[in-house]
Amino acid sequence: MEKFDTICALVTPSGEGGLGMIRLSGKDAISVAARYFKGKLDLLKAKSHRIFYGRLIVPETGETLDEVMCAVMRSPHSYTGENVIEVSAHGNPLLLSKILQSFLRSGCRLAEKGEFTKRAFLNGKLDLSQAEAVAQLVKAKTSSALTVAVQQLEGKLGGFLKEIRSKILAILSPVEAGIDFPEEEVPEISVQDLRADILGVIGQIQELLKTASSGKILKDGVSAVIAGKPNVGKSSLFNALLREQRAIVTHIPGTTRDFLEEWTDIKGIPVRLIDTAGLRNTRNVVEQIGVSRSKEALAKGDLVLVVLDQSRQLESYDLELLTLAQGKQGIAVLNKSDLRGLFSIRKIREIYQGEIVCVSALQNKGIELLEEKIAELLMQGRIHSDTPMITQVRHQACLEKSLGFLREALETLQKNYPLDLVAVDLRGAVETIGEITGDNYTEDLIDKIFSEFCIGK
Ligand SMILES: Nc1nc2c(ncn2[C@@H]2O[C@H](COP(=O)(O)OP(=O)(O)OP(=O)(O)O)[C@@H](O)[C@H]2O)c(=O)[nH]1
Ligand SMILES: [Mg+2]
Q: Residue 283: which CATH number?
A: 3.40.50.300
Domain boundary among 79, 111, 143: 111
Express as a percent the part of the chain with pLDDT over 90.
67
User: Is the domain of 206 the same as that of 300?
Assistant: no
Question: CA 242: distance to chain centroid?
Answer: 22
Q: Is the pLDDT of residue 384 over 60?
A: no
Nearest atom in ligand 1 to the alpha carbon of residue 361 is 31
pLDDT digits (tens, 9 = 90+) for 32-56: 999 999 999 999 999 999 999 999 9
Does a structural domain hold residue 118? no
Q: What is the mean pLDDT of residues 3-28?
A: 94
Q: What is the CATH number of the domain that holds 194?
A: 1.20.120.430
Measure 275 CA to ligand 1 centroid, in angstroms.
Answer: 12
Does a structural domain hold residue 225? yes
Domain boundary among 329, 347, 379: 379
256 class by beta-carbon count within 10 Å (0-12 exposed, 13-18 middle, 19+ buried): buried
For the question of whether the overall pTM of this predicted structure is more than 0.85, the answer is no
Q: Is the pLDDT of residue 185 over 80?
A: no
* pLDDT score recorded for residue 407: 97
Measure 361 CA to ligand 2 centroid, in angstroms.
Answer: 12
* 120, 124, 128, 130: CA torsion to nearest 10: -70
User: Is the domain of 315 the same as that of 346?
Assistant: yes
Measure 363 CA to ligand 1 centroid, in angstroms.
Answer: 11
Q: How far apart are CA 326 and CA 320, in angstroms?
A: 10
Q: What is the mean pLDDT of residues 405-410?
A: 96
* pLDDT score recorded for residue 2: 47
Q: What is the CATH number of the domain that holds 23?
A: 3.30.1360.120
Nearest CA to ligand 1 atom 27: 251
Helix (H, G, I), strand (E, B) or coil at 85: strand
DSSP 282-329: ---HHHHHHHHHHHHHHHH-SEEEEEEETTS---HHHHHHHHHHHHSE
User: Is the domain of 240 the same as that of 368?
Assistant: yes
Does a structural domain hold residue 173? yes
Q: How far apart are CA 118 and CA 115, in angstroms?
A: 5
* pLDDT score recorded for residue 186: 59
Does a structural domain hold residue 125? no
Nearest CA to ligand 1 atom 9: 233
User: Is the domain of 155 the same as that of 268?
Assistant: no
Consecutive H or E run containing 433: helix 419-437
Residue 47 DSSP label: P
Q: How far apart are CA 117 and CA 122, in angstroms?
A: 9
Instruction: Give the residue with greater pLDDT, 350 vs 184.
Output: 350
* pLDDT score recorded for residue 13: 92
User: Is the domain of 91 the same as that of 137?
Assistant: no
Measure 233 CA to ligand 1 centroid, in angstroms.
Answer: 3
Nearest CA to ligand 1 atom 14: 233
Q: Average pLDDT over the chain, rounded to whole?
A: 91
Reported as a pLDDT band with limits 50, 70 and 90, residue 335 is: very high
* pLDDT score recorded for residue 18: 96
* pLDDT score recorded for residue 183: 64
User: Is the domain of 424 the same as that of 280?
Assistant: no
Q: Is the pLDDT of residue 128 over 80?
A: yes
Does a structural domain hold residue 243? yes
User: Is the domain of 207 the same as that of 346?
Assistant: no
User: Is the domain of 150 the same as that of 82?
Assistant: no
Mutate to test the pocket of ligand 1, among 225, 226, 229, 231 (most ligand atoms within 8 A of CB): 231
The ligand minimizing its distance to the Cα of 236 is 1
Residue 333, phi-psi category: left (phi > 0), alpha (psi -120 to 50), beta (remainder) = beta
Measure 327 CA to ligand 2 centroid, in angstroms.
Answer: 24
> End-to-end alpha-carbon separation of the chain, Å?
19
Reported as a pLDDT band with limits 50, 70 and 90, residue 187 is: low
pLDDT digits (tens, 9 = 90+) for 197-247: 999 999 999 999 988 988 888 888 999 999 999 999 999 999 999 999 999
The ligand minimizing its distance to the Cα of 359 is 1
Q: Is the pLDDT of residue 329 over 70?
A: yes
User: Is the domain of 223 the same as that of 207?
Assistant: no
Does a structural domain hold residue 457? no
Nearest atom in ligand 1 to the alpha carbon of residue 252 is 24
Q: Which domain holds residue 55?
A: 7-111
User: Is the domain of 72 the same as that of 201?
Assistant: no
Nearest CA to ligand 1 atom 13: 233
Reported as a pLDDT band with limits 50, 70 and 90, residue 71 is: very high
Considering its fold, how many domains does the chain have in total? 3
User: Is the domain of 228 the same as that of 367?
Assistant: yes
Does a structural domain hold residue 354? yes
Mutate to test the pocket of ligand 1, among 237, 249, 365 (most ligand atoms within 8 A of CB): 249
Reported as a pLDDT band with limits 50, 70 and 90, residue 1 is: very low
The residues lining ligand 1, judged by C-beta closer than 6 Å to any ligand atom, are 228, 230-236, 249-251, 253-256, 277-278, 335-336, 338-339, 360-362
pLDDT digits (tens, 9 = 90+) for 99-123: 999 999 999 999 999 999 999 999 9
User: Is the domain of 322 the same as that of 447?
Assistant: no
Q: Is the pLDDT of residue 386 over 80?
A: no
* pLDDT score recorded for residue 381: 55
Nearest CA to ligand 1 atom 7: 233
Q: What is the mean pLDDT of residues 177-201?
A: 79
Consecutive H or E run containing 9: strand 7-10
pLDDT digits (tens, 9 = 90+) for 421-452: 999 999 999 999 999 999 988 888 898 899 88
Q: What is the mean pLDDT of residues 72-89?
A: 97
Q: Is the pLDDT of residue 358 over 70?
A: yes
Per-residue CA distances from 226 to 264, 325, 343 (Å): 14, 11, 21
- List of E strands, 58-120: 64-73, 84-91, 109-110
Nearest CA to ligand 1 atom 10: 233
The ligand minimizing its distance to the Cα of 251 is 1
Does a structural domain hold residue 89? yes
Domain boundary among 328, 357, 379: 379
